[in-house]
Chain A
Amino acid sequence: AQKITQTQPGMFVQEKEAVTLDCTYDTSDQSYGLFWYKQPSSGEMIFLIYQGSYDEQNATEGRYSLNFQKARKSANLVISASQLGDSAMYFCAMREGGGNTGKLIFGQGTTLQVKP
């Protein structure tokens, strides 16, 4: 069965430094998608970045990049130049299967706190 594992319940980072949030996944599907979402204390889910299983290059979106290591089944999120507003919970998620199945499976999340 598909599974997402985030092993870091909480992380601290100094403002302006980079931080890596870990995510490993388990799937037998060849076609899948990996997502990272940010959830501030307000509860909304903010989409950050997406990596398809067939994408050869690591995805990047502004200060966010995804370190995709397919053989190791890891999809770590790297946030560069951390800002106080980055303090939130971060979720790694995997889209199960291809086509129109559409179900997202979430990890347990990592709470990131940025220190001034």
Chain B
Amino acid sequence: DGGITQSPKYLFRKEGQNVTLSCEQNLNHDAMYWYRQDPGQGLRLIYYSQIVNDFQKGDIAEGYSVSREKKESFPLTVTSAQKNPTAFYLCASTPSGFYGYTFGSGTRLTVV
């Protein structure tokens, strides 16, 4: 079945470490997105990519980095510059045009 796979489901990070969250889709979607969700809050856009080898900053890109080397993959790195990384991270994708989004099941990141 087609869908988006995010891994790991839970991730623990020590202070000062970089960690990478994986997002893979087999839907042949052009665009991919990373959102951050804090408890009881809405989703905020971190980065998005509409085509391979190209990506744009969202509203809260500071302390994060991404790459889009393959259409299927859009990994997110949470760097040590992100001062408050504990949150729920959701990856999404959409085909080009005016369509809805498919979301992954999310990664819950905790700083220990």
Contact = CB atoms under 8 A, between A and B. Distances in A.
A50 B106 contact: no
A56 interface: no
A91 B42 contact: yes
A42 to B, nearest CB: 7
A31 B97 CA distance: 12
Interface stretch (B11-19, B43-51, B64-72, B75-83): B43-51
Interface of B: 30-31, 33, 35, 40-45, 48, 50, 58, 88, 90, 92, 94, 96-98, 100-103, 105-106, 108
Contacts of A33: 98
For the side of the interface on A, what is the size category?
20 to 34
Given A91-B42, A107-B42, A102 B100 contact: no
**In the complex, the 4 A-B pairs of residues with the closest C-beta atoms, listed nearest first:** A45-B103, A106-B42, A106-B43, A43-B106
7 contacts: A4-B42, A33-B98, A45-B101, A100-B50, A104-B92, A106-B42, A108-B42
Interface of A: 4, 31, 33, 35, 37, 42-45, 47, 50, 52, 91, 93, 95, 98-100, 102-109, 111
B101 A104 contact: yes
